């Protein structure tokens, strides 16, 4: 057992001695200091002091540091207020006001994206002066910006550019910031017009793989060392589900007797049961057996974390978590680029093989075999028009002489 005792004397009021309760002499083995942080929350931390006077100095230095930070914050707040009154706010100023109002779990990630990708280019500009052309230039810069992978602090010189979805997400988040700024009266209109900045042809179906390409994909040597990637792609193909929904499949979601997999709701859709082939069911059954997965376990759990776990309790907890889709996407992107995307730029989405190609290819094959209604059900779409835009059916259209 360990114990704390508060030091006597007014000046030592916030200093505690730490001792072993089993020690008859109750000798001090460490010193702790107590103070209130910048947000006025009480903190008690161990300090590197050999006696109470050293602890007192550390405490006083800490209080002085916090007091200095408070003054700086007050100064910034005063300057910001002055800028508001003078209609002289920069985009970075508005961001400082905007992010603290957000409560979503993703706010830290959105804020980090802003300061990493947007602020270096537009942060110093007056928000009222930012035009759509400025956002277009930013978008073009981001398309060329090397991407960081994993825990890298800097992008490698030979790194591929930012993923198109990342660029679109950053621009969409910027649009949300401007919408908030309009409500607060900091700006009159939103210059972030997505359709003008990021050109997207809603009728462009994207690439669909041929039977030969699919056969090549299923037999790539890379999947011998990483069989989880092959299982993931086959699950995407045979269920027709979106990749993030496939990531959330648990053992309990698979009904081997009926040959169906429960797929969670995505976007505005509802959860549904995907009927799948015996081929996928056999692979899933083998995977579940090999990895000793049980009822609540995720099929795609964090395998690397599991291997590093040191206790049974940790291993059980890890199997009850889904892994990050982004990690799979990065590994698969490298494989696709080597075997299917040679000399195809990262923004030529209509010609690149991606994970979403599995869903498009499978749906197109269902359409060709069974028709548009079955393709719509396979994709869990609510409107046939959406399905028609999604499929690649050009090869299915015959040249007809109408005799005109």
Give the percent of the chain with pLDDT over 90. Answer: 46
CATH number of this structure's domain 211-396: 1.10.443.10
CA distance 342 to 241: 27
> Quick one: pLDDT band at residue 188, thresholds 50, 70, 90?
confident
**Do 357 and 246 form a contact (C-beta atoms < 8 A)?**
no
**How confident is the model over 125-182, as pLDDT tens digits?**
998 899 999 999 998 899 888 876 554 445 455 567 887 778 888 988 999 999 988 8
Give the CATH fold of the 91-197 domain. Answer: DNA polymerase; domain 1 (1.10.150)
Tell me the three-class secondary structure of the chain, residue by residue.
CEEEEECCCHHHCCEEEEEECCCCCCCEEEEEEEEECCCCCEEEEEECCCCHHHHHHHHHHHHHHHHHHHHHHHHHHHHHHHHHHCCCCEHHHHHHHHHHHCCCCCHHHHHHHHHHHHHHHHCCCEHHHCCHHHHHHHHHHHHHCECCCCCCCCCCCCCCECCHHHHHHHHHHHHHHHHHHHHHCCCCCCCCCHHHHCCCCCCCCCCCCCHHHHHHHHCCCHHHHCHHHHHHHHHHHHHCCCHHHHHCCEHHHEECCCCEEEECCCCCCCCEEEECCHHHHHHHHHHHHHCCCCCCCECCCCHHHHHHCCCHHHHHHHHCCCCCHHHHHHHHHHHHHHHCCCCCCCCCCCCCCCCHHHHHHHHHHHHHHHCHHHHHHHHCCCCHHHHHHHCCCHHHCCCCCCCC
Which residue is listed with tokens 């009159």?
A: 188
> Quick one: pLDDT band at residue 108, thresholds 50, 70, 90?
confident
> Quick one: pLDDT band at residue 400, thresholds 50, 70, 90?
very low
> Quick one: pLDDT band at residue 260, thresholds 50, 70, 90?
very high
User: Could you check whether 91-197 and 211-396 share the same CATH topology?
Assistant: no
What is the domain partition of the chain in residue ranges? Answer: 2-82, 91-197, 211-396
Q: What is the average pLDDT value for the chain, to the nearest integer?
A: 84
CA distance 52 to 207: 70
Supply the pLDDT for residue 102: 80
**Do 317 and 329 form a contact (C-beta atoms < 8 A)?**
no
**Do 283 and 231 form a contact (C-beta atoms < 8 A)?**
yes
* Number of Cβ within a 10 Å radius of residue 209: 21
**How confident is the model over 189-239, as pLDDT tens digits?**
899 887 666 654 444 457 889 999 999 999 999 999 999 999 999 999 999
Supply the pLDDT for residue 88: 76
> Quick one: pLDDT band at residue 19, thresholds 50, 70, 90?
confident
Supply the pLDDT for residue 183: 86
Supply the pLDDT for residue 118: 94
Which residue is listed with tokens 């092959």?
A: 230
Question: Which distant-in-sequence residues (6+ apart) come within 8 Å of 52 by Cβ?
Answer: 7, 12, 15, 17, 31
Whether 280 has a pLDDT exceeding 90, the answer reads: yes
Query: What length is written for the chain?
Result: 404
Work out the average pLDDT over 307-329: 91
Greater confidence (203 vs 240) lies with 240
């Amino acid at each position: 057992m360990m114990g704390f005792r508060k030091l006597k004397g007014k000046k030592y009021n916030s200093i505690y001695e730490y001792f072993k309760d089993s020690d008859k002499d109750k000798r001090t083995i460490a010193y702790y200091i107590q103070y209130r942080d910048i947000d006025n929350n009480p903190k008690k931390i161990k300090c590197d002091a050999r006696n109470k006077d050293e602890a007192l100095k550390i405490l006083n230095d800490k209080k002085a540091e916090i007091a200095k930070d408070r003054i700086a914050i007050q100064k910034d707040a005063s300057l910001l207020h002055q800028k508001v009154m003078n209609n002289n706010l920069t985009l970075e100023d508005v961001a400082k006001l905007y992010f603290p109002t957000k409560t979503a779990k993703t706010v830290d990630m959105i804020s980090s994206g802003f300061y990493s990708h947007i602020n270096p280019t537009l942060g110093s500009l007056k928000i009222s002066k930012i035009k759509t052309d400025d956002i277009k230039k930013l978008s073009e810069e981001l398309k060329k910006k090397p991407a960081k992978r994993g825990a890298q602090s800097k992008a490698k010189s030979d790194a591929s550019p930012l993923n198109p979805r990342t660029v679109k997400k950053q621009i969409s988040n910027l649009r949300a910031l401007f919408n908030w700024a309009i409500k607060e009266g900091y700006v009159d209109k939103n210059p972030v017009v997505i359709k003008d900045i990021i050109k997207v042809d809603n009728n462009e179906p994207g690439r669909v793989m041929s039977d030969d390409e699919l056969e090549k994909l299923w037999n790539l040597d890379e999947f011998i060392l990483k069989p989880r990637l092959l299982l993931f792609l086959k699950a995407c193909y045979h269920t027709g589900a979106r990749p993030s929904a496939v990531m959330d499949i648990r053992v309990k979601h698979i009904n081997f007797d009926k040959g169906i997999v429960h797929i969670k709701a995505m976007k505005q859709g509802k959860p549904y049961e995907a009927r799948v082939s015996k081929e996928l069911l056999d692979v899933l059954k083998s995977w579940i057996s090999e990895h000793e997965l049980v009822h609540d376990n995720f099929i795609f759990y964090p395998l690397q974390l599991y291997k590093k776990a040191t206790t049974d309790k940790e291993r059980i907890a890890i199997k009850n978590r889904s892994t990050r889709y982004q990690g799979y996407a990065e590994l698969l992107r490298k494989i696709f680029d080597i075997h299917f995307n040679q000399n195809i730029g990262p923004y030529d989405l209509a010609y690149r093989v991606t994970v979403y190609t599995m869903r498009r290819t499978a749906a197109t094959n269902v359409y060709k075999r069974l028709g548009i209604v079955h393709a719509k059900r396979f994709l869990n779409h609510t409107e046939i028009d959406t399905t028609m835009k999604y499929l690649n059916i050009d090869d299915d259209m015959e040249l007809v002489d109408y005799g005109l």
